[in-house]
Chain A
Amino acid sequence: MLVPALIAGIGTLVPIVYLVLRAFDADLVTVQRLVLRERTWTLMVNTVSLTTGVLVLSTIMAVPLAWLTVRSDIRWKRFVTILAVVPLAIPGYVVAYALISLGGANGFLSQLLGTVVPRPSGYWGAVAALSLYTYPYLFLNVRAALLGLDPSLEESARSLGHGSRAVVWRVVLPQMRPALLAGWLVIALYVLGDFGVVALMRFEAFSYAIYLQYASAFDRTYAALLSLILLGLTLVIVGAEGRLLGKRRYARTGSGSQRAAVITHLKRWAPLAYGYVLLVILVALGLPFVVLGSWMVLAPPSLAAWQAVLEAFARTASVAVPAAIITALAAMPIAYLAARVRMAGSRLIERLAYLGYAIPPVSLALALVFFSLRSVPWLYQTMTILIAAYVISFLALAIGPIRSALMQVPPRLEEAARSLGRRPFVAFFQTTFPLIRKPVVAGTALVLMVAMKELPLTFLLAPTGFTTLAVRVFTRTSEGMMAEAAPFALAIVVFSSLFVGLLVGYEGRR
């Protein structure tokens, strides 16, 4: 039980150690000179302002939408909620692709309208693309918090003489704080880790700059240093979230069952609300689908193109499926340790798994490149190292659901099985495992879906000539071949959407 957990935990640390080793290969003076270059500062400012921009825009999109679907009297709330979540299935580089293919001489709008619209790019292009696909994370968090908000708290505040606006500021918003922070953290981690969007928008944030530095191959020390700085920035943000959340209690302290949320009647504001919902969903969901659909009509792909899509799909699955299964197998003992064994070590191993999730993929990819070149050259640019990267990066995704399911299964069941003559491992598989099978399958499926659309790890670590769907979309788009990229992007979006649907359905059945 301990061995796989240790392996999984160490899997996260070893690459980081190699990153440090590689970065400090150079003498300290060189390191100092590189770190203090003006370019490092520019990248830092770019990355931080990109993150800030995305947080602001996604908040503007997510929070009103969450409030409207929980606390207002708009209709089709369930439907709106599902439509608001679906963009999760659309990878950032596809959104960027959709935005980019709107403009330009070969662009969608020029073919449609005959006028050349400039391509969105740089800072605003990146902010738009990243916000459009990350806002559902904030939406889901805020929505859950609003649903869990105890109406009697608001009523108490009203009875204590606060007006409705004061109640929002002094009661509702403080209660939303953990949800906002959690949502912002996830989005910030995405922005820092994102490679596809910033690369396609040609905006020099850290991950794009690291890639350029690495690809130009002149100065890998600087690439390693930048990776470390990006990793440091990520850890600072994770730490800040924990610090901001603090030790305050937000759960209800009283007992008794909670009443349903109070609904606000929009009355004359209703048209504005519907307009807002429509706008957000049209842009976030409609844009990629309309653009992809139109390319299918404007430039229908040939049979050969579809065959290429199918081949790329098969290649993608050939790494994603084993990665998902190995991830789930590694996640189980870690989740078990975290949920069951009260040891300082078990918490640490779980933390390490989450660290693997937080490491920006470009940093992780470079770390694994350095690691394999230095210690296991026969693994360099192999499927093994690619799958290992997926496992390190996605382990936390599988641990989450398995761990919460384990918490709900009383440990007494295994003890009962042992008192009835089962060895520990058999006891687990005969009693606990049947009860957590669903979350294990769901966790595996989630990892599979994320692995199917993964870009930066694949792009940097895959064997030469091994292209997945995501890599195809990325390379075609960066070469300006928008129509050629469309069928690959469509395949990803359709697969992911179907999978999200299946996952929601599977979780719903009990």
Chain B
Amino acid sequence: MSDAASPLPHRPAPVVEMRALVKRYSRNDHLAVDHLDLDVSSGEILCLLGPSGCGKTTLLRLIAGFEMPDAGRVRIAGKPVADAGTWVEPEKRRIGFVFQDYALFPHLTVRQNVAFGLRNVPKATRLQQADEVLDLVGLTIFAGRYPHQLSGGQQQRVALARALAPAPAVILLDEPFSNLDAALRGSTRHEVRQILKRTGTTAILVTHDQEEAMTFADRIAVMRSGRLEQVGTPERVYARPQTAFVASFLGRTNLLRAEGQGSVARTPLGDLALARPAHGQVLLSVRPEALGFSRNGRGVPVRVIEREFKGHDLTYTCLLADGERQRLVVQTGPSCSVGVGDVVSVTVDGTAVPLEPSVAAPPPRARR
């Protein structure tokens, strides 16, 4: 998938365009989607990532036409579907939707479910075409069964086949893997991604799982309180977070107060090289894997207060020994002999990322 992940030399016309989109559920509620702009290009897989209640599912439903925006506009495949004077019903938008609970029609067989959206196809070839899509997801042998006779992963793929069958301009997936158990989730995710790429389908996926977003997406859009915090490739967003929220939502990180001096900053861990220049009081993000224990006494002394073994690596929580209450998370290889209570030295290998204040205010209260 390296071709898709690399930055595109020129952007084709976006398949989905959102401009200044606003959605509020009730008058005295906060904005579920707050003046949001976003483009999704053809063949791209975009993940909307954020905590529950950040507005990501609302955004997806606005694109689908299940919700009506209060302001702003949406275009799909170049055609306006929602703006001040236009409203296109969901059935006319050329979208495919994969629901969290799949929403398969329980009274129809797998084949009939997949054929449901093939309305402009002559009856004779409709079922045949459904079978072709089922073949794509590898479920031809289950065509005659009913949804309740399938496993969760199979239902998931039927839902995908049903959404893909009418060849929509964009496919929208609302937390599609969250109902699968952990073992199945990884493999299903991989298969779904391959199918989307093979068919060249544009897709927008909503998730709160950062690992899912990073493995699945060509681009990640991190959402918070109805706004976009950062949009970029998974590598970029992980390695160069713009805000403390993004830095800590995409994995563990160390947030350090520092004094920026151009390309370096003075920190409790000594002078660190910066990913981008910064001046004055600044907050830095340093990933745990950029920290390590030194054997030769170089670095800053810390006391280990917690040790988590995870199989492929070890994560330590330490306190700076200088009396400041700064906590540090250090990740090492799986065979490190340092134990709880030990006083060791920590060194930094890599750059620190200066963070900007969030554009979005923290949510006034959790929405469920």
Stretch with Cβ within 8 A of A (4 or more), from B76-84, B92-100, B182-190, B214-222:
B92-100
| B107 in contact with A419 (CB, 8 Å) | no
Which residues of B lie under 8 Å from residue A434 when comparing CB positions?
A: 107
| A416 in contact with B166 (CB, 8 Å) | no
CB within 8 Å of B: which of A377-435?
410, 412-413, 415-424, 427, 430-431, 434-435
Instruction: Flag whether B116 is at the interface (Cβ < 8 A).
Output: yes
Which residues of A lie under 8 Å from residue B65 when comparing CB positions?
A: 418
CB within 8 Å of A: which of B112-168?
116-117, 119, 162-163, 166
3 shortest interchain CB distances as A-B pairs: A420-B117, A412-B103, A419-B97
| A415 in contact with B101 (CB, 8 Å) | no
Instruction: Flag whether B51 is at the interface (Cβ < 8 A).
Output: no
Instruction: Flag whether B85 is at the interface (Cβ < 8 A).
Output: no
Instruction: Report the count of interface residues on B (CB-CB < 8 A).
Output: 24
Q: Mark B315-351, 1 if CB is under 8 A from A, else 0.
A: 0000000000000000000000000000000000000
- Chain B residues within 8 Å of A, Cβ to Cβ: 64-66, 89-93, 95-97, 99, 101, 103, 105-107, 116-117, 119, 162-163, 166, 172
| A415 in contact with B119 (CB, 8 Å) | no
- Extra A-B contacts (6), CB below 8 Å, given A413-B103, A413-B105, A418-B91: A412-B101, A419-B91, A420-B162, A420-B163, A421-B119, A423-B89
CB-based nearest B residue for A417: B116
CB < 8 Å: which of A410, A412, A415, A421 contacts B166?
Answer: A421
Nearest chain B CB to A507 CB, angstrom units: 18
CB < 8 Å: which of A416, A421, A422, A430 contacts B103?
Answer: A416
Known: A410-B101, A415-B97. A421 touches B107 (CB 8 A): no
Query: How far does the alpha carbon of A413 sit from the alpha carbon of B104 in the complex, in Å?
Result: 7
| B116 in contact with A415 (CB, 8 Å) | no
Query: How far does the alpha carbon of A419 sit from the alpha carbon of B66 in the complex, in Å?
Result: 9
Nearest chain A CB to B161 CB, angstrom units: 12
| B96 in contact with A419 (CB, 8 Å) | yes
Interface residues on A, range: 10 to 19
| B101 in contact with A422 (CB, 8 Å) | no
| B97 in contact with A416 (CB, 8 Å) | yes
| B99 in contact with A416 (CB, 8 Å) | yes
CB-based nearest B residue for A431: B105
Q: Mark A358-373, 1 if CB is under 8 A from B, else 0.
A: 0000000000000000
Query: How far does the alpha carbon of A424 sit from the alpha carbon of B103 in the complex, in Å?
Result: 16
7 contacts between A and B (CB under 8 A): A410-B103, A413-B105, A415-B103, A420-B162, A422-B91, A423-B91, A430-B105
Nearest chain A CB to B64 CB, angstrom units: 6
CB-based nearest A residue for B114: A420
Known: A410-B101, A412-B99, A412-B101. A419 touches B106 (CB 8 A): no
| A421 in contact with B117 (CB, 8 Å) | yes
Query: How far does the alpha carbon of A421 sit from the alpha carbon of B119 in the complex, in Å?
Result: 8
Nearest chain A CB to B156 CB, angstrom units: 14
| B99 in contact with A435 (CB, 8 Å) | no
Which residues of A lie under 8 Å from residue B116 when comparing CB positions?
A: 417, 420, 430
Tell which of B89, B93, B103 has the most Cβ of chain A within 10 Å: B103
Which residues of A lie under 8 Å from residue B172 when comparing CB positions?
A: 419
Nearest chain A CB to B266 CB, angstrom units: 53
Nearest chain A CB to B105 CB, angstrom units: 5
Interface class of chain A by DSSP: helix
Known: A434-B107, A435-B106, A435-B107. A418 touches B101 (CB 8 A): no
Query: How far does the alpha carbon of A413 sit from the alpha carbon of B108 in the complex, in Å?
Result: 12
Tell which of A412, A416, A431, A434 has the most Cβ of chain B within 10 Å: A416
Known: A412-B99, A415-B90, A415-B97. A420 touches B166 (CB 8 A): yes
| A418 in contact with B99 (CB, 8 Å) | no
Which residues of A lie under 8 Å from residue B89 when comparing CB positions?
A: 418, 423-424
Query: How far does the alpha carbon of A415 sit from the alpha carbon of B57 in the complex, in Å?
Result: 14
Which residues of A lie under 8 Å from residue B66 when comparing CB positions?
A: 415, 418
CB-based nearest A residue for B116: A420
CB-based nearest B residue for A416: B103
Query: How far does the alpha carbon of A416 sit from the alpha carbon of B103 in the complex, in Å?
Result: 7
Query: How far does the alpha carbon of A412 sit from the alpha carbon of B101 in the complex, in Å?
Result: 8
Which residues of B lie under 8 Å from residue A412 when comparing CB positions?
A: 99, 101, 103
CB-based nearest A residue for B96: A419
Query: How far does the alpha carbon of A416 sit from the alpha carbon of B96 in the complex, in Å?
Result: 8
Which residues of A lie under 8 Å from residue B90 when comparing CB positions?
A: 415, 418-419
CB within 8 Å of B: which of A417-455?
417-424, 427, 430-431, 434-435
Query: How far does the alpha carbon of A242 sit from the alpha carbon of B134 in the complex, in Å?
Result: 53
Which residues of B lie under 8 Å from residue A422 when comparing CB positions?
A: 91
Which residues of B lie under 8 Å from residue A435 when comparing CB positions?
A: 106-107
CB-based nearest B residue for A422: B91
Query: How far does the alpha carbon of A417 sit from the alpha carbon of B97 in the complex, in Å?
Result: 10
Nearest chain B CB to A6 CB, angstrom units: 22
Which residues of B lie under 8 Å from residue A417 when comparing CB positions?
A: 105, 116
Tell which of A417, A421, A424 has the most Cβ of chain B within 10 Å: A421
Query: How far does the alpha carbon of A431 sit from the alpha carbon of B91 in the complex, in Å?
Result: 14
Known: A420-B116, A431-B105, A435-B107. A415 touches B99 (CB 8 A): yes
| A419 in contact with B105 (CB, 8 Å) | no
Which residues of B lie under 8 Å from residue A420 when comparing CB positions?
A: 91, 96, 116-117, 119, 162-163, 166
Query: How far does the alpha carbon of A416 sit from the alpha carbon of B174 in the complex, in Å?
Result: 12
Query: How far does the alpha carbon of A423 sit from the alpha carbon of B91 in the complex, in Å?
Result: 6
Tell which of A410, A413, A420, A423 has the most Cβ of chain B within 10 Å: A420
Query: How far does the alpha carbon of A431 sit from the alpha carbon of B116 in the complex, in Å?
Result: 10
Query: How far does the alpha carbon of A203 sit from the alpha carbon of B323 in the complex, in Å?
Result: 92
Query: How far does the alpha carbon of A95 sit from the alpha carbon of B66 in the complex, in Å?
Result: 55
Which residues of B lie under 8 Å from residue A415 when comparing CB positions?
A: 64, 66, 90, 97, 99, 103
Tell which of B90, B92, B101, B105 has the most Cβ of chain A within 10 Å: B90
Which residues of A lie under 8 Å from residue B162 when comparing CB positions?
A: 416, 420
CB-based nearest A residue for B26: A342
CB-based nearest A residue for B120: A421
Nearest chain A CB to B344 CB, angstrom units: 45
Nearest chain B CB to A168 CB, angstrom units: 39
Nearest chain A CB to B106 CB, angstrom units: 7
Which residues of A lie under 8 Å from residue B106 when comparing CB positions?
A: 435
CB-based nearest B residue for A412: B103
Nearest chain B CB to A341 CB, angstrom units: 14
Nearest chain B CB to A384 CB, angstrom units: 37
Query: How far does the alpha carbon of A421 sit from the alpha carbon of B94 in the complex, in Å?
Result: 8
Nearest chain B CB to A209 CB, angstrom units: 50
Nearest chain B CB to A246 CB, angstrom units: 26
Query: How far does the alpha carbon of A420 sit from the alpha carbon of B172 in the complex, in Å?
Result: 12
